């Protein structure tokens, strides 16, 4: 039995979740989220070295830029990470309501079935799984779910959280959210739905939501705009939504299907993990573990054996082909090539056709985050979230048009259609200086007109980007997730979540230095050694001379995560006695002072996951302070600092996803509105 709080959970039989021991995530999360990727041999067999403004229209960014102009980067933070070490804040150090500047006492590791915020702050739910998004949606009833209802309700397992301002008013904005994956065990009461009904409901619980929100009465709080007729932008993007494929792969024979003989119109987006809000007011979203949706009724077609293998497409899908034959590889071998892209949605126009940008390459995209380089080009940073995969950068051919005109907007919406895609190679400096650091090179893979990889065409490189990156000797990293430019200091921060096989299958090197880790079964339990890099890193990348369009960069591991009591950890040089334990960084964000905000997924120190604030400059650089924790089984997603640093939006994804838990025997009932858990988007802010 697994004991959580005062609940006793019957365990699922081992074969229900696989003999899964390698990741710090709960095995149930591994099964449903990524198709047990950790238990498959890593698909990267390359043998590569393992070294390792209109921008101001966007609400959060505008304030970030204002913060930068006001010299926010030099502000003093005061976050003490242990209660014993906490010093009382002085009045001038606290600017009420500013998440960037307010002192808070860090939250201790815990297993509570709650969102626990730092004292002085609180959080509220903005929208839950099943809540109404479109007019005509029925009230959610888990026992009477229908596809027609799911098409109008908030989807399951919210991940990326973006906030796009409205032109006409500043107290309202558009919340854009990804719905990454589904979990039959936690979504469906037993004995009600047939297998095909579950599959269809799961399909329509994927995708994205656009929801108009407004400021609440308490500063920093936000709620959904109702009645829904006052929210004309609200939208559910799902498995039947039309997307237009852009860039060099559009029309390629390998993306043509019987339903789309021209290879330009794709139905749906799947496994949307993280994303980014563009300076021109759209949202980018990464299609991540797309390999797990395709069945192989009559076997996997030989024609694409190598390509499928490199992407982990085995034909062991979710059985969706019984509902929609396009998910059967033997009938539609090209359907997988239509997923694994970065998609762009214009939330301000609910009838716009969203796009899939082939120019940003095809892999297990975590997200895409853009900075406008000094020369005006849009630069997107990208991560491929799997063990041993790569970091990428896209530089647009054209410059952003900053004029507030319709023509400028049309121009900017085309920026991601042409440019150059690069992959990163990192070298350690080899010095025994107690720093994991070195230099690196962005290796061009292809432009929209010319491939730089011998033997591969432009379309080859973009369709099978992993194979192209293998050939140029890119550096295999420990699960690159969010990769995001800090708008205050211009540096790039990448969350490298973990790799349980680093030190065994994957040799250690200076960029990926940890082969064993000290882990904990639960808060307060002793630290014990475990193979691999269990806690991950935060990589800081400094573009040469601050030119984001260049090819050379420097790097260092700003955080080697884990318990500060372990010798293996490093917190940017900050006093380890004063920092919070942190494990498995996943998503990153920035406030107006350039502080890093990190959410975690898969705590290997026995605590619930959470969100942390980390100064990136000054005397407090590296002072990791835990701001909140999420319920058992959940990962924390987002995060997003908005509304002048008064609001922290975040998603609580897969609450209660603990092996053995079911709809009827849940491991969490958060947010405690029902007798089962509901993934939800929340906002944290001052409590008064």
Q: Which residues bind ligand FEO (CB under 6 A)?
A: 180, 273, 288, 366, 385, 481
Q: How far is the CB of 668 from ligand FEO (least distance, A)?
A: 19
Q: Binds 645, which of ligand FEO, Ca ion, none (CB < 5 to 8 A, cut-off by type)? A: none
R_g over Cα of the chain: 23
Query: Which is closer to ligand FEO, CB of 123 or CB of 292?
Result: 292
Q: How far is the CB of 608 from ligand FEO (least distance, A)?
A: 17
Q: Would you say 280 and 57 are in contact if contact means Cβ atoms under 8 Å apart?
A: yes
User: For residue 644, what are the contacts with CB-CB under 8 A and spacing of at least 6?
Assistant: 63, 98, 592
Phi-psi region of 34 (alpha: psi -120 to 50; beta: other; left: phi over 0): alpha
Q: Binds 429, which of ligand FEO, Ca ion, none (CB < 5 to 8 A, cut-off by type)? A: Ca ion
User: For residue 429, what are the contacts with CB-CB under 8 A and spacing of at least 6?
Assistant: 435, 437, 438, 439, 510
Q: How far is the CB of 459 from Ca ion (least distance, A)?
A: 28
Q: How far is the CB of 479 from ligand FEO (least distance, A)?
A: 7
Q: Comparing C-alpha atoms, which of 94, 88, 203 is closest to residue 145?
A: 203
Q: Binds 435, which of ligand FEO, Ca ion, none (CB < 5 to 8 A, cut-off by type)? A: Ca ion
Phi-psi region of 293 (alpha: psi -120 to 50; beta: other; left: phi over 0): alpha
Q: How far is the CB of 81 from Ca ion (least distance, A)?
A: 24
Q: Would you say 111 and 608 are in contact if contact means Cβ atoms under 8 Å apart?
A: yes
Q: How far is the CB of 273 from ligand FEO (least distance, A)?
A: 3
Q: Binds 431, which of Ca ion, ligand FEO, none (CB < 5 to 8 A, cut-off by type)? A: Ca ion
Q: Binds 288, which of ligand FEO, Ca ion, none (CB < 5 to 8 A, cut-off by type)? A: ligand FEO
Query: Which is closer to ligand FEO, CB of 366 or CB of 484?
Result: 366
Q: How far is the CB of 599 from Ca ion (least distance, A)?
A: 8
Q: Binds 180, which of Ca ion, ligand FEO, none (CB < 5 to 8 A, cut-off by type)? A: ligand FEO
Q: Would you say 120 and 635 are in contact if contact means Cβ atoms under 8 Å apart?
A: no
Query: Which is closer to ligand FEO, CB of 304 or CB of 650?
Result: 650
Cβ atoms within 10 Å, residue 391 = 27
Query: Which is closer to ligand FEO, CB of 166 or CB of 186?
Result: 186
Query: Which is closer to ligand FEO, CB of 559 or CB of 578?
Result: 559
3-state secondary structure 502-535: ECCCECCCCCCCCCEEEECCCCCCCCEEEECECC
Q: In what order do the strands lie in the sheet with 121-128?
A: 121-128, 680-686, 647-653, 635-642
Q: Comparing C-alpha atoms, which of 562, 542, 540 is closest to residue 553?
A: 542
Q: Would you say 208 and 156 are in contact if contact means Cβ atoms under 8 Å apart?
A: no
Query: Which is closer to ligand FEO, CB of 222 or CB of 339?
Result: 339
Query: Which is closer to Ca ion, CB of 46 or CB of 285?
Result: 285
Query: Which is closer to ligand FEO, CB of 321 or CB of 587?
Result: 587
Q: Binds 432, which of ligand FEO, Ca ion, none (CB < 5 to 8 A, cut-off by type)? A: none
Q: How far is the CB of 291 from ligand FEO (least distance, A)?
A: 13
Q: Would you say 273 and 33 are in contact if contact means Cβ atoms under 8 Å apart?
A: no
| Neighbour-count burial for 552-590, b at 16+ CB within 10 Å, e otherwise | ebbbbbbbbbbbbebebbbbbebebebbbbbbbbbbbbb
Query: Which is closer to Ca ion, CB of 104 or CB of 156?
Result: 156
Q: How far is the CB of 51 from Ca ion (least distance, A)?
A: 12
Give the residues lining the site for Ca ion (CB under 5 A).
273, 429, 431, 433, 435, 437, 586
Identify each DSSP E strand in 377-525 by its residue range.
377-384, 387-389, 391-399, 419-428, 437-447, 477-478, 480-485, 492-496, 516-519
Cβ atoms within 10 Å, residue 444 = 18
Query: Which is closer to ligand FEO, CB of 270 or CB of 395?
Result: 270
Q: How far is the CB of 435 from Ca ion (least distance, A)?
A: 4
């Amino acid at each position: 039995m697994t004991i959580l709080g005062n609940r006793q959970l019957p365990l699922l039989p081992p074969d229900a979740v696989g003999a899964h021991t390698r990741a710090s995530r709960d095995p149930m999360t591994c099964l449903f989220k990524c198709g047990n990727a950790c238990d498959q041999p890593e698909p990267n067999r390359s043998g590569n070295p393992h070294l390792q403004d209109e921008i101001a229209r966007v609400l959060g960014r505008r304030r970030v830029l204002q913060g930068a102009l006001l010299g926010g980067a030099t502000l003093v933070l005061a976050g003490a990470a242990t209660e014993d070490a906490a010093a009382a804040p002085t009045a001038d150090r606290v600017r009420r309501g500013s998440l960037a500047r307010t002192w808070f006492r860090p939250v201790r590791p815990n297993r509570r079935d709650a969102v626990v915020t730092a004292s002085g702050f609180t959080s509220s739910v903005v929208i839950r799984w099943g809540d109404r998004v479109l007019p005509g949606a029925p009230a959610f009833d888990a026992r009477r779910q229908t596809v027609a209802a799911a098409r109008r309700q908030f989807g399951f397992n919210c991940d990326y959280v973006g906030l796009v301002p409205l032109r006409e008013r500043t107290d309202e904005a558009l919340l854009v959210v990804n719905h990454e994956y589904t979990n039959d065990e936690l979504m469906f009461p037993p004995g009600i739905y047939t297998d095909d009904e579950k599959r269809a409901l799961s399909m329509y619980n994927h995708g994205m939501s656009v929801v108009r929100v407004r400021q609440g009465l308490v500063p920093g709080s936000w709620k959904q705009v109702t009645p829904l007729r006052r929210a004309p932008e609200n939208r559910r993007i799902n498995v039947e939504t039309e997307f237009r494929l852009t860039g060099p792969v559009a029309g390629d024979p390998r993306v043509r299907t019987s339903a789309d003989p021209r290879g330009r119109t794709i139905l749906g987006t799947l496994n949307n993990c993280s994303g980014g809000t563009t300076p021109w007011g759209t949202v980018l979203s990464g299609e991540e573990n797309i390999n797990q949706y395709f069945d192989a009724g009559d076997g996997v077609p030989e024609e694409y054996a190598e390509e499928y293998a490199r992407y982990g497409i085995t034909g062991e899908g979710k059985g969706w082909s019984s509902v929609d034959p396009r998910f059967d590889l033997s009938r539609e071998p090209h359907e997988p090539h239509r997923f694994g892209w970065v998609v762009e949605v214009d939330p301000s126009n609910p009838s716009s056709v969203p796009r899939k940008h082939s120019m940003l390459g095809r892999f297990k995209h975590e997200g895409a985050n853009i900075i406008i380089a000094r020369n005006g080009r849009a630069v997107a940073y990208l991560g491929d979230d799997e063990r041993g995969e790569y970091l990428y950068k896209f530089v647009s051919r054209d410059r952003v048009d900053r004029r507030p005109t319709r023509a400028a907007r049309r121009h900017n919406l085309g920026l991601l259609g042409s440019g150059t895609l690069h992959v990163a190679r990192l070298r350690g400096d080899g010095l025994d200086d107690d720093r994991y650091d070195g230099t690196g090179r962005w290796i061009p893979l292809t432009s929209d007109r010319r491939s730089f990889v011998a033997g591969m065409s432009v379309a080859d490189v973009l369709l099978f980007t992993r194979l192209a990156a293998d050939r140029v000797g890119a550096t295999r990293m420990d699960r690159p997730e969010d990769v995001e430019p800090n708008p205050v200091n211009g540096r790039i921060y990448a969350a490298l979540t973990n790799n349980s096989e680093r030190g065994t299958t994957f040799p250690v090197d200076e960029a990926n230095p940890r082969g064993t880790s000290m882990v904990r079964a639960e808060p307060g339990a002793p630290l014990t050694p475990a193979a691999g890099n269990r806690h991950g890193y935060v990589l800081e990348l400094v573009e040469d001379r601050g030119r984001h369009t260049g090819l050379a960069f420097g790097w260092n591991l700003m955080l080697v995560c884990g318990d500060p009591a372990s010798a293996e950890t490093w917190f940017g040089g900050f006093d380890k006695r004063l920092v919070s334990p942190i494990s498995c960084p996943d998503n990153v964000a920035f406030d107006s002072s350039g502080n890093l905000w990190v959410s975690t997924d898969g705590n290997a120190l026995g605590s619930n996951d959470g969100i942390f604030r980390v100064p990136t400059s000054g005397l407090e650089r590296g002072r990791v302070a835990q701001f909140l924790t999420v319920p058992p089984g959940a990962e924390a997603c987002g995060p997003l600092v908005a509304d002048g640093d008064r609001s922290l939006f975040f998603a609580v994804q897969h609450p209660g996803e603990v092996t053995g838990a079911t709809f009827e025997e849940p491991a969490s009932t958060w947010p405690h509105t029902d007798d089962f858990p509901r993934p939800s988007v929340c906002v944290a802010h001052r409590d008064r």
